[in-house]
Amino acid sequence: MDGMTARGAGSHVDRVTQLQDSADEQCKMLFSSLHYLHKKAGMVQVSPEIPITQQNEGADSASEFSLRTKDIATDICRQAKKIDALIESLPGVAVSESNQSTEFDELNKENEVATRELHEAGQRARALLDRLSRALRDIAESSGKA
């Protein structure tokens, strides 16, 4: 298998892994944001007919809450842009279906060659193990006779 292609395929996998990690991170950020908003928001009267009967004891001050929510929004947007960049860097985004099919066929052929080479290496290893076992057995037998 050609080293350039192997590295290229590996980098595609790396980008997919990065994309998965970034999506996971985005989910965590969104969950944490909702938790923060739920726990730290102060009570606000939305209608004159409905008074606030109980304050949120753990609420942040209005200025701190505003600053923190802006930071959260900035972080979420930054993460979304990172995800967009990773998606754009994936192979096939700007490649036609026929080119993707051709690339897939080439990768499949390379995989078949690598599988064959691995199988052959396994056979050679088993043959060497058999030779070594016979040699050790012969040594053990000859030292037992002496």
Question: What tens digit of pLDDT does each residue of 47-79 get?
Answer: 889 888 888 888 999 899 999 999 999 999 999
Residue 145, pLDDT > 70, answer: yes
Q: What is the Cα–Cα distance from 110 to 107, expressed in whole angstroms?
A: 5
What does the pLDDT read at residue 3?
43
Exposure on the CB side of residue 12, measured as CA atoms within 13 A:
12
pLDDT band at 134 (very low <50, low <70, confident <90, very high): very high
Q: What angle do CA 101, 15, 85 make, to 5 degrees?
A: 100
The whole-number pLDDT of residue 93 equals 64
For the stretch 72-119, pLDDT in tens is 999 999 999 999 999 888 876 667 788 888 888 999 999 999 999 999
- Amino acid code (one letter) for 145: K
Closest CA to 81 of 38, 35, 29: 29
Look at 129 and 57; give whichever has higher pLDDT: 129
Above 70 in pLDDT, residue 12?
Answer: no
Distance CA 134, CA 67 (A): 76
**In contact, 102 and 74? CB cutoff 8 Å:** no
| pTM of the shown model | 0.55
Q: What pLDDT, on the 0 to 100 scale, is given for residue 71?
A: 97
Report whether pLDDT(34) > 50. yes
